[in-house]
Structure 1
Amino acid sequence: MDQNGYPDLLVGAYESDATLLFRARPIIDIQTSVSGELSQIDPNKEGCKDDPNSKLVCFSFNACFKFNTTLRSTVSNILRLHYRIEAETYTGKKYYRVKFGSTADSDNPNIVERDISIRGNDLHSEHCSKEIVYLKDKSDIQNAVMFELTYSLIQKEPRMPTDGETLPDINKLPILNQEEAHRVFEARFLKECGSDEICESDLRVEAELTTKRTDTNKYILHLGEEHLSLIIRVINKGEPAYDASVFITHPSSLSYVGRKITKGDQLDCSPSNRTTLKCDLGNPFNPGKLEFQLRFNPTGLSDAETSLQLQIQSTTTSADKSVNDDLVTLTAEVIRNAELELSGNSEEQAVRYGGEIKGEAAIKFEDEIGSRVFHKYIIRNAGPWKASRIDVNISWPYQVENGREHGKWLLYLTGVPQVTGQGGKGYCLMGPNQVNPLDFDINSEYNSVVDNVPMPESRGSKSRRKREMIVLPREVRASDGSIQNVVSMSCGSGARCFNFTCVVLDLAANQTAV
């Protein structure tokens, strides 16, 4: 109906007393092509023909289009096109390996967009745009870089005319033939994988720990004496393996220290997260053998961890002939050793035992009991590992044995023992009637709360003893030549004792607790 050579459709709506006119828009046939350096791109050669001084691997191509010969008679003499090329992310990928030189500093360097205006006789000429592409990541050269090329017309949408108004010229609103307006193409890298460009590698992983083994061939890790060292060997008996990596999965309590190559020359290891270490073997990892050693620090192990498990697995984007030998699992039993040293002393070199004799009922204050004696027990952890908990069991001689229910007081405990020192963390578990059982007034400096741990009662009696067991002395000649009587007593032999326990927590190697 508009004489543009395309059929239109007129539909009558009888009940609505109206007609509907469907007009066909003219179709512009566009021919597109892409040519250039899109194959055998050497990922190890910097620069390219159009930018030889580049520090990055690059390649270039021409994206071209032209219209067919029927264009002049059907559409306006001016056409505006929107040109767009997107690398990789058009498929939904979040990551892209290349960037365009013309948009390298933009927010989307993997996308090129521009508007093209074509006039008069140029409507029937071929129009090309050259693009230089730079490879910013060589981690995956096994797979081709995919591009999407699209052309679309730039035109204003027609306004719906009012009743009696002239219809817009449909010839000014053409559409593009989408068969050629959209094109997908790829750029492939040079690979040493034969004429079929399919790389068939054959990776095998071997791994072992350098720690000691038991008679049953189980690994043992003695904490504090050594790092955990892991030896890994990767062998490729096939074609080059692209994007070849080894992933080491380990407990989060192990921290990666470093690596050492013992055979081979390409290796780059870095943690992916707290439990995974990735080692890149080179791209590609050629046929041959690579051996390296990894070191981990086990100081972060918790007391609940009694064993460690590590998994070592190789991966590649090439076709691996056999995957059964790509995974190794190792387990090590954890042994914690701590050598403890216990020593004790009294701050007073000589203590006078005697003075005015008073009965228990006559004593009210601490200083009436007798001379104060401070006992100090020192625990040293000589390592190599920390001691999570140390129980020190003490037998305390509180009375002289006399064969009766109650004996005479010997060492009267006036305060709860305290744990101090470098280790610093700890406490003592005391039973009732072990600390100040006669309830004398004690200086607040030495007073403390007694833990109510059930223990046998041992309260002194205020009644007078008629008979006492005599502990026989022995004669000792002093330095001045005089003879002195010395009495030796111990728990079960001349002295009555009660038991209590002091607990020291988290005593690190080479630290002391008092």
Structure 2
Amino acid sequence: GLAGADRLLGSSSGPPGFGFTLRGDGDIDNNQYPDLIVGAFGVDKTVVYRSRPVVSVDAQLVLTPRVLNPDEKTCHLPDSDTMATCFRVDVCMRISGMGIPETVVLQAELQLDWLKQRGGVKRVLFRDSRLPQLSQSITLGQQDKHHCLNYTVFLREEEEFRDKLTPISVALNYSLDQSSAYPGLSLRPVLDHYSKTFHQDQANILLDCGEDNMCIPDLKLSAVMDREELVIGDDNPLMLTINSANHGEGAYEAELHVLLPPEADYVGVERRREDLQRLNCEHRVENDTRVVVCDLGNPMVAGTNLFVGLRFTVQRLDDAGPHISFELQIHR
């Protein structure tokens, strides 16, 4: 097909003045589309550009339901006794166009949780294949210009992923199947330039955050040390007792970050005292900064009040000032 912005270039060995004459009001091959004849000055040959049939596609992608409750496991996974939370993906396509073939084959691709790229954990999978992507050939014709397919998708177990806040996006991308034969047509069809070949729809995981499903936590953080003075040349063991509380709605992916001063080294979580929680904490190096990261819950539900003891040694005091400081943050 020739769109208004197309440019037709003669070959480098072609006659000078290519495009001197144009005729575009005839249908030379009788395919219901006008063709273009291009000539050059003083040359007894012409070039014919024939228009290809144009297929217009109207596609729809719908997810049902759009809010997934992980506690409602009503969907049975095949070849197992496992029940899961599921939703339905409907793909509908309608074709139209003048002079299009008797049958048109579209190659459709569905990507689940497609915003999770570069190795991110896909939170949903197709029930039948247990894969996050699917390719499907869809054949449409004069007798079946509108066709719908549906698929069942399941939510993985909550312990298999952390992110419950980001919407779960499903993407549909389609194109004409280039391997299909079109008997009786000398030119292969093309997709309408204005057909939208990429569609997406989203579902959300139900959160413990009221009717609006929007979480507004109210986080509090405080800490005390078990010693006030440090001695140069000593190991200086100390424990930082940290209180993290949430007085608002659930805080998802909540983490306690403790940034260490240069003089301190992390020893571990205090596990002997029964009044302190045994959180999962790990030591990391982020941008040349040493930090201890503790998981506060996913979600850190309303009313949570955690006490954790983190043990350190403080040894490198020769060049230290009169004070050392630990910086505490809650990330979510």
Fold equivalence (TM over 0.5) = yes
Q: In the alignment, is the contact (CA less than 8 A) between 1:205 and 1:235 conserved in 2?
A: yes
Among candidates 177, 187, 195, match of residue 154 of structure 1 = 177
- In structure 2, C-alpha distance between the alignment counterparts of 1:239 and 1:220, rounded to whole Å: 40
Among candidates 283, 287, 296, match of residue 271 of structure 1 = 283
Q: Deviations over 1:23-53 (max 9, x none)?
A: 433332333333344422124x374424397
Q: In the alignment, is the contact (CA less than 8 A) between 1:259 and 1:269 conserved in 2?
A: no
Gaps of 5+ in 2: 1-26
Q: What is the identity, as a one-letter code, of the residue corresponding to 1:30? A: V
Asked whether 1:258 is paired with 2:284, we answer no
- In structure 1, C-alpha distance between the alignment counterparts of 2:317 and 2:226, rounded to whole Å: 23
Among candidates 60, 73, 77, match of residue 51 of structure 1 = 77
Deviation, structure 1 residue 312: 1.0
- In structure 2, C-alpha distance between the alignment counterparts of 1:90 and 1:17, rounded to whole Å: 57
Deviation, structure 1 residue 284: 1.9
Q: In the alignment, is the contact (CA less than 8 A) between 1:266 and 1:281 conserved in 2?
A: no
- In structure 1, C-alpha distance between the alignment counterparts of 2:283 and 2:143, rounded to whole Å: 57
Asked whether 1:169 is paired with 2:186, we answer yes
Secondary structure of the corresponding residue to residue 114 of structure 1 = strand
**Cα gap change, 1:119/1:315 in structure 2, threshold over 3 Å: closer, same or farther?**
closer
2:145 match: 124
**Cα gap change, 1:99/1:18 in structure 2, threshold over 3 Å: closer, same or farther?**
farther
Q: What is the identity, as a one-letter code, of the residue corresponding to 1:231? A: T
Gaps of 5+ in 1: 159-167, 214-218, 317-514
- In structure 1, C-alpha distance between the alignment counterparts of 2:304 and 2:31, rounded to whole Å: 72
Asked whether 1:287 is paired with 2:302, we answer yes
Secondary structure of the corresponding residue to residue 285 of structure 1 = coil
**Cα gap change, 1:201/1:123 in structure 2, threshold over 3 Å: closer, same or farther?**
same
Task: Compute the RMSD of aligned alpha carbons.
Answer: 3.9
- In structure 1, C-alpha distance between the alignment counterparts of 2:203 and 2:278, rounded to whole Å: 26
Q: Percent identity?
A: 19
Superposition pairs of residues 101-112 of structure 1, within 5 angstroms = 101=126, 102=128, 104=130, 109-110=131-132, 112=133
Q: In the alignment, is the contact (CA less than 8 A) between 1:256 and 1:271 conserved in 2?
A: no
Secondary structure of the corresponding residue to residue 66 of structure 1 = strand
- In structure 1, C-alpha distance between the alignment counterparts of 2:47 and 2:261, rounded to whole Å: 73
Deviation, structure 1 residue 290: 2.2
Q: In the alignment, is the contact (CA less than 8 A) between 2:125 and 2:156 conserved in 1?
A: no
2:249 match: 239
Asked whether 1:83 is paired with 2:99, we answer no
Q: Deviations over 1:414-473 (max 9, x none)?
A: xxxxxxxxxxxxxxxxxxxxxxxxxxxxxxxxxxxxxxxxxxxxxxxxxxxxxxxxxxxx
2:88 match: 61
Q: Deviations over 1:451-503 (max 9, x none)?
A: xxxxxxxxxxxxxxxxxxxxxxxxxxxxxxxxxxxxxxxxxxxxxxxxxxxxx
Deviation, structure 1 residue 286: 2.3
Secondary structure of the corresponding residue to residue 307 of structure 2 = strand
1:298 match: 313
- In structure 2, C-alpha distance between the alignment counterparts of 1:264 and 1:41, rounded to whole Å: 35
1:140 match: 163
Asked whether 1:184 is paired with 2:200, we answer yes
Deviation, structure 1 residue 103: 5.1
Deviation, structure 1 residue 156: 4.9
Q: In the alignment, is the contact (CA less than 8 A) between 1:62 and 1:129 conserved in 2?
A: yes
- In structure 2, C-alpha distance between the alignment counterparts of 1:279 and 1:241, rounded to whole Å: 14
Secondary structure of the corresponding residue to residue 188 of structure 1 = strand
Superposition pairs of residues 361-400 of structure 1, within 5 angstroms = none
Asked whether 1:207 is paired with 2:234, we answer no
**Cα gap change, 1:92/1:291 in structure 2, threshold over 3 Å: closer, same or farther?**
closer
Q: Deviations over 1:266-304 (max 9, x none)?
A: 9432334482222222122222242222333428x4464
Q: In the alignment, is the contact (CA less than 8 A) between 1:139 and 1:283 conserved in 2?
A: yes
Deviation, structure 1 residue 128: 0.6
- In structure 2, C-alpha distance between the alignment counterparts of 1:221 and 1:33, rounded to whole Å: 71
The structure richer in helix per residue is 1
- In structure 2, C-alpha distance between the alignment counterparts of 1:182 and 1:39, rounded to whole Å: 19
Query: Which is higher, the Rg of structure 1 or of structure 2?
Result: 1
- In structure 2, C-alpha distance between the alignment counterparts of 1:9 and 1:151, rounded to whole Å: 30
Q: Deviations over 1:110-168 (max 9, x none)?
A: 3x13241526676435231414243364422122122221111111599xxxxxxxxx7
Q: In the alignment, is the contact (CA less than 8 A) between 1:89 and 1:95 conserved in 2?
A: no
- The two structures have a TM-score, normalised by structure 1, of 0.48
2:18 match: none
